[in-house]
A = this chain, B = another copy of it.
Amino acid sequence: MLFGALEAGGTKMVLAVLDENQRMISHEQVPTLTPEDTMPRMIGYFKGFSLSALGIGCFGPLDLNPASPAFGSITATPKLAWRNFPLLSEFRKALRIPAAIDTDVNGAALAEARLGAAKDVNSCVYATVGTGVGAGLVIDGKPVHGLVHPEMGHILITPDESDPSPMGFCPYHRHCLEGMAAGPALEKRWGAPGKQLPIDHPAWELESGYLAQFCYDAMLSFSPEKIILGGGVMQQKLLFPKIREKTAALLNGYVAHPCVEEGLANYIVEPGLGTDSGILGAYLLARDALK
């Protein structure tokens, strides 16, 4: 039995086919241009296999309300060619197989919850810190949607006094997490990309402080059993111990739990699936679509 998986990103589409044992049979990349260009190429790829179901993890925001006429569409994205594009229904029409969609980060959170860093617990938040900041939330094995879906990249962060750009760089919000801590914010604030900043650069104290605010707020807001941080910026591994230390300092003994006493080393962690969380999340969505 074969399952199609699509990790739909703003720059590239990652497509894969996996069997029921989670073995990757094939994978492919397609640049994200316009739907007119990109959809036929993706549909053509998936039609080359006898798929039982398709799962899609897609950049947001998405309409995930099953009762909505626009269910499965991309909504208010700045990627104008894709705005209001009915991604799920176009695939269903073309492939005529069960198909499911969720945000890319909810997909990745689902994969980490079932197969990765959070497989031994019942809830987790997965955040990616890269070109943007996004986070997915899984509780009791299910991605959380609610009114729309979590957009934790835009929660408010209190600027540090030492920040030369205390308002951040989000076009929508003053000092939201993405505007303060995404890769482009780092680069705009310091005039160079994170990769080029030395490990003792003040950028990393600020960055870890802002991500600690995120971890703290997540813990207090919905008490995940694991916080998983991935994405390009988190390749700077020195961030992890700094984030743990600053999160513990913010908690200041208020949340009593062994994982806090242990210094959060097993609580604020790297993805267990490396960079595969996204595509494996799409695969799990496909499997669930068949149920």
Contacts and interface: CB of A to CB of B under 8 A. Distances in A.
A234 interface: no
A218 B219 CA distance: 13
Contacts of A144: 123, 139, 222-223
Contacts of A175: 158
B148 A224 contact: no
A257 interface: yes
A148 B223 contact: yes
Interface in A109-134: 122-123
A146 B225 contact: yes
Contact of A253 (B145, B157, B172, B216): B172
A175 to B, nearest CB: 7
Contacts of A223: 144-151
B140 A123 contact: no
Contacts of A151: 220, 223, 254-255
A153 B154 CA distance: 19
Interface in A132-188: 137, 139-140, 142, 144-159, 172-173, 175
Contacts of A157: 158
A154 B225 contact: no
A284 B150 CA distance: 28
Interface string A209-221: 0000100111111
Given A156-B158, A175-B158, A257 B148 contact: yes
A148 to B, nearest CB: 5
A265 interface: no
Given A147-B259, A213-B156, A222 B137 contact: yes
Contacts of A253: 76, 172
A123 B146 contact: yes
A253 B173 CA distance: 10
Contact of A140 (B76, B137, B142, B220): B142
A173 to B, nearest CB: 6
Given A144-B222, A149-B223, A256 B61 contact: yes
Contacts of A142: 140
A13 interface: no
A196 interface: no
B257 A216 contact: no
Interface of A: 61, 75-76, 122-123, 137, 139-140, 142, 144-159, 172-173, 175, 213, 216-225, 250, 252-257, 259, 267
Query: Top 8 closest A-B pairs, CB basis?
Result: A146-B223, A172-B254, A158-B158, A76-B256, A147-B223, A123-B146, A151-B220, A155-B217
